[in-house]
Amino acid sequence: DYTKKKNNIASDLNRRFKAAALDGDWRPMMEYICRQYHDTTSVRSLIQGERNIQGFMTAYFSLNPYYLTNPEVELRHGYCDFFLMPDFHRCATTSHAYIVELKYLKPDATEEAALKQWDEAVEQIRGYGEGKAVRVLSGKAALHLIVVQIKGCSLYRMDEVNF
């Protein structure tokens, strides 16, 4: 029963990775990972904040067969949280690449603080997306810029940012 459940989880996650890689349908993948983070995070983990979320997402992103998962890649004088670079050797049909910027809010953060952080993240990720290196590394894949804001252990806001 445990093996069957484990295989169902892996299959469900892989379907979401596939939709993101081949169709550009990234939201189900990110919502799934964020929901898993929420469901498995302890109060102790919240002390680590963004670092804990980054570790958790690195583990999940590393399970996909479509991307080389690159955390903390230097792009245009900054470090993006994740660059999901298409692995054309394993899947030549991958047609979407992603830069994911994570932002963490403490559970008692105000709406004003959340909005300020969001605006800074949007400016930051746009800068990453404009870099020549990321364009070359994305190859023929369409590049998506995704900002994910977590408050406490819950998804607070998530959206794609236009260039």
Q: Spell out the residues 6+ positions from residue 8 whose beta carbon is closer than 8 angstroms to its own.
A: none
Mean of the pLDDT values across residues 137-155?
Answer: 94
pLDDT at 27: 97
Highest mean pLDDT of the ranges 8-17, 63-72, 154-163: 154-163
Query: What is the pLDDT confidence band of residue 50, given thresholds at 50, 70 and 90?
Result: low
Query: What is the pLDDT confidence band of residue 77, given thresholds at 50, 70 and 90?
Result: low
Whether the per-residue pLDDT at 3 is higher than 70: the answer is no
Query: What percent of the chain is predicted at pLDDT more than 70?
Result: 87
Whole-number Cα distances in Å, 118 to 106, 124, 133, 149, 150: 14, 10, 25, 8, 11
pTM beyond 0.85: yes
Query: What is the pLDDT confidence band of residue 73, given thresholds at 50, 70 and 90?
Result: confident
Q: Spell out the residues 6+ positions from residue 67 whose beta carbon is closer than 8 angstroms to its own.
A: 21, 61, 84, 85, 86, 87, 94, 97, 98
Q: What does pLDDT average to over the chain?
A: 87
- pLDDT, tens digit, 9 for 90 and up, residues 99-138: 999 999 999 999 999 999 999 999 999 998 988 888 888 9
Whether the per-residue pLDDT at 35 is higher than 80: the answer is yes
